Amino acid sequence: MQANRVETAPASEDTIAMPRPTVAQLTYGSCTVIFSTLAMLLLSQTSSGSLIAVITITAVALGVLVALTVPAPRRAPVVVARSAVDEQPVPASVAAAPEPVREPSAP
């Protein structure tokens, strides 16, 4: 004899909602990458490919860091309206009506 069990499947990775980057995050991150790359290349005055690659990787890492630290917009709380159908009926107590209601007879 088996007990009644409800088995639930674990949530797949496809159903987990991942927030998309906002316009501000994309803008700040891109501007950081462009301007920090230009600044580091101009300040280092390098022409070697390996140092340019290091500067580029550093600029991309800095851009990702800036994009992640931009505060996300706050969402408004969702208000759910409850209808009368959702509510459970309240059972009448026995003390409220101990005997049936009697109508007076017509004269």
Chain centroid to CA 98 = 54
pLDDT at res. 53: 94
Contact call for residues 3 and 14 (beta carbons, < 8 A): no
Amino acid symbol at 13: E
What pTM does this model have? Answer: 0.52
Cα separation, 83 vs 20, whole angstroms: 34
Mean pLDDT, the chain, as a whole number? Answer: 78
Residues 6+ apart with CB under 8 A from 64: 29
* pLDDT value at residue 17: 77
Which region, left, alpha or beta, applies to residue 17 given φ > 0 means left and ψ of -120 to 50 means alpha?
Answer: beta
